Structure 1
Amino acid sequence: MLWYAIASLLPAGLILMACLLGGVWIWLSLLVMTAHVWVMDRLWDGVLPVQDGSAWARWLSVVLGLGHFAVLVLSVAVLGQGELTVAQGLGLGLAAGLFLGQVSNSNAHELIHRAARWERALGVAVYVSLLFGHHASAHRRVHHVHVATGRDPNSARLGESYWHFLPRAWVGSFVAGFRAETALRRGVGPGHPYVIYVGGAVVALWMAWALAGSGGALALLALAGYAQAQLLLADYVQHYGLRRRVDAQGRAEPAGPQHAWNAPHWYSGAMMLNAPRHSDHHMNPSRIYPALRLEDGMPVWPRSMPVMALLALIPPLWRRVMDHRVAIVSGRAGSDLPQSGHAEAIRDSAAAVGSGGVGPGPDVG
């Protein structure tokens, strides 16, 4: 339980210190969002155990949701005032942007799947503050319904580069989410969530301008754009090349363990609230993050999720690493896939918590 709190709250605290005190705190906050995560993942090859932990996990999400607004407001104010050196501004912007894109995004994603309306509203508010409110609708109404099919704009195709995927997924998810919400409500009216998404984005930009003038508005645009790019980068790497089978009537098979990429690395997983345990999330969308499972047969990246995201920025290297892995997953059982070195730890972890065991993955051939 403690590691989830440490890994997710530590960067928020350091970024707040960087905004208030500047100096070395800027570089510490950037370090803890980058090299620190990589080092911690390398220090231990184990896997965080599966836990229920619903009470403490819910409240950590609430604290992170409130902390998001503190980080965003202070970062916009400091960056917008333009009193930092170029290097300091770049360092703080990168640190805050990484936090917003990796921690705040993962937490908002967790919140919009909660049963309680106020928790979902907090998750929506986080996305709206990042000028990306439509993701709350597109993710639940489109991505979870059509994941790993051609009808989901956020499922990357085999051979598609991230740079091609980025604009296609942004525009496609906005349009698909709007259509899904409009069909659900049989029209556009005052209660349509897109009124909140678009109106909230306008209000957020106005507040940034009121806080720090045009520099504040530009800072919010830069931070939100960087966070959005990371969110879409996560979608890209988590579903790259994987497809569900579709029958003659156009019905796709249920989303299974073979339809998302996963990573068992403990510290980056804790920081992102187990977002890299993505197969189980799609099979059990309401399952709270400490209870998400890793099982044999789930496709596993050769490196942690942050490292794979960096690799995806270089399309030739990404395809060299991933295309043959996609072919393996698409052609036969996921357990045949080259592993990241954590396979034994995954099995030991599942056995230790008495979670019902970890069986072999299904045949997807």
Structure 2
Amino acid sequence: MSILHYLKYFLFHVIGLSALVAIVAGGSSIPLGLVAILGLYLLGDAIGGDDVSTPTFRHPGILTFQLWLALPLLALIVFASVWSVCTADVLGVGAQVTQLTGYDVLAARNATSMSQHLAGIVLTGLMIGMIGTITAHELTHRTWDPVSMLIGRWLLAFSFDTTFAIEHVYGHHRYVSTRDDPATAPRGRNVYLHVLISTIRGNASAWLIEQKRLQREGRSVVSPRNAFIRGHLMSVVLVAAAWSAGGLAAAGYFVLCGLAGKALLEIVNYMEHYGIVRDPATPVQPRHSWNTNRRLSSWTMFNLTRHSHHHAQGEVPYQDLKPFQHAPMMISGYLTTIVVAMIPPLWHRLMTPKVLAWDRDFATPAERQLAAEANLRSGMRAFHARGQHGI
């Protein structure tokens, strides 16, 4: 097999390093870096076509080690971003970079405006979501591998979302596309409301899952064995580290970056499952989530795009996921679909016909009845008309 099939997944690291350079360079480099990365995805997915290749990897250990490298990469990006709002030259990093490159990063940092720091929050949040959550999503599914689980949970700690390792694996995959799943957005829901509702319900679900696990083991819920509590303490450690670097301003800045990363996850949940219904008595099938095979998104997001296969077989490593070309398809690649989701009128205009087509082409008779009920609850005229007259 061509080495290119291994190298294509390292584009993920190239994008992360590009963000790191933009943040350290400071000033206008930060918003320019953000625009460049967004433009790369929007244009790349628009013209790059689909990747439906299914190579067999003879050395999967290389790809696992690559996933582990996400933790030091994300730590560097977040450190650089927090450093950018500190008054002191933490660990002398600025002086060292200036000496090595001849570019005065301390002067650039001092000249960085508030609007440019806001771009830094968005860029860092994007990296926390992509390098942190996407990689952690893959790693925390590997429940048989304690190293991957540990690295995955630390990656999630940057977005205050270590509960994802509990709720997503043991809750979301069981209840996906039903009303019991916090991450599945019902028809008509606004994406911004979904971020709030899914976050609250997801944490509540994770607590209950962990509570039941500890009770089965005969352990106290409030104990060092509680992964829910331990996970949030991991995030507290990161906030404390930011505080020690630059006081309240640095800690607050880090919190905003982490919350941006968490919001990005919930936006992704929104677009991956919006409007799809499932008969709880029916096993999860590829038709129960939105899929995409856009090349750039697939290569730089560890085949998260092949979401339909992932939900049908959650334990399959990312490199072995199949494209499932006949599954329900998203609007485009991930970043493009995220941008559309953040513009609710455009989202509903494009997605309502897709959801109604899903009812017609993919739903079972029982699911068509559930869809009709969901249409009536949606509060949207386009769905409501279908709900009144059936599917």
- TM-score tier (shorter): 0.7 to 0.9
> What is the aligned length?
329
Q: Which residue of 2 aligns with 1:356?
A: none
Q: Which residue of 1 aligns with 2:276?
A: 242
Which of the residues 48, 70, 77 maps onto 1:64? 70
CA deviation after TM superposition for structure 1 residue 312, in Å: 1.2
Q: Which residue of 2 aligns with 1:254?
A: 283
Q: Which residue of 1 aligns with 2:7?
A: 2
Which of the residues 167, 181, 184 maps onto 2:196? 167
CA contact (8 A) 1:18 1:25 kept: yes
Amino acid at match of 1:245: D
CA contact (8 A) 2:271 2:337 kept: yes
Structure 2 unmatched ranges of 5 or more: 1-5, 88-108, 364-390
Deviation larger for 122-131 or 73-82: 73-82
Structure-to-structure mapping, 1:16-31, within 5 angstroms = 16-23=20-27, 25-31=29-35
Q: Which residue of 1 aligns with 2:182?
A: 153
Amino acid at match of 2:9: Y
CA contact (8 A) 1:11 1:32 kept: no
Structure 1 unmatched ranges of 5 or more: 247-251, 335-364
CA contact (8 A) 1:80 1:218 kept: no
Q: Which residue of 1 aligns with 2:82?
A: 76
Q: Which residue of 2 aligns with 1:111?
A: 139
Distance between the aligned counterparts of 1:207 and 1:127, measured in 2? 16
Structure 1 residues 71, 52: closer, same or farther in 2, change over 3 A? farther
CA contact (8 A) 1:101 1:228 kept: yes
Amino acid at match of 2:134: S
Q: Which residue of 2 aligns with 1:330?
A: 359
Distance between the aligned counterparts of 1:280 and 1:203, measured in 2? 36
Which of the residues 170, 194, 197 maps onto 1:141? 170
Distance between the aligned counterparts of 1:37 and 1:311, measured in 2? 13
Is 1:33 the counterpart of 2:37 in the alignment? yes
CA deviation after TM superposition for structure 1 residue 298, in Å: 0.5
Structure 1 residues 88, 164: closer, same or farther in 2, change over 3 A? closer
Is 1:225 the counterpart of 2:259 in the alignment? yes
Distance between the aligned counterparts of 2:131 and 2:301, measured in 1? 5
CA contact (8 A) 1:11 1:29 kept: no
1:232-256: per-residue Cα shift (whole Å, max 9, x none)? 000000000111113xxxxx31110
Distance between the aligned counterparts of 2:282 and 2:86, measured in 1? 49
1:300-346: per-residue Cα shift (whole Å, max 9, x none)? 02322211111112222211111221122122248xxxxxxxxxxxx
Amino acid at match of 1:11: I
1:270-326: per-residue Cα shift (whole Å, max 9, x none)? 111111211111111121112111123300023222111111122222111112211
Distance between the aligned counterparts of 1:201 and 1:179, measured in 2? 20
Distance between the aligned counterparts of 2:75 and 2:293, measured in 1? 29
CA contact (8 A) 1:264 1:304 kept: yes
Distance between the aligned counterparts of 1:314 and 1:39, measured in 2? 19
1:178-212: per-residue Cα shift (whole Å, max 9, x none)? 10111011040220101212222222211110011
CA contact (8 A) 2:121 2:260 kept: no
Q: Secondary structure at 1:34's aligned position in 2?
A: helix
Amino acid at match of 2:123: A
CA deviation after TM superposition for structure 1 residue 63, in Å: 1.0
TM-score by length of 1: 0.85
Q: Secondary structure at 2:85's aligned position in 1?
A: helix
Q: Which residue of 2 aligns with 1:288?
A: 317
Q: Secondary structure at 2:152's aligned position in 1?
A: helix
Q: Which residue of 2 aligns with 1:11?
A: 15
Distance between the aligned counterparts of 1:96 and 1:71, measured in 2? 7
1:68-117: per-residue Cα shift (whole Å, max 9, x none)? 11111221121344732224323332222212122321111111012311
TM-score by length of 2: 0.80
Distance between the aligned counterparts of 2:145 and 2:36, measured in 1? 32
Structure 1 residues 190, 243: closer, same or farther in 2, change over 3 A? same
Amino acid at match of 1:298: A
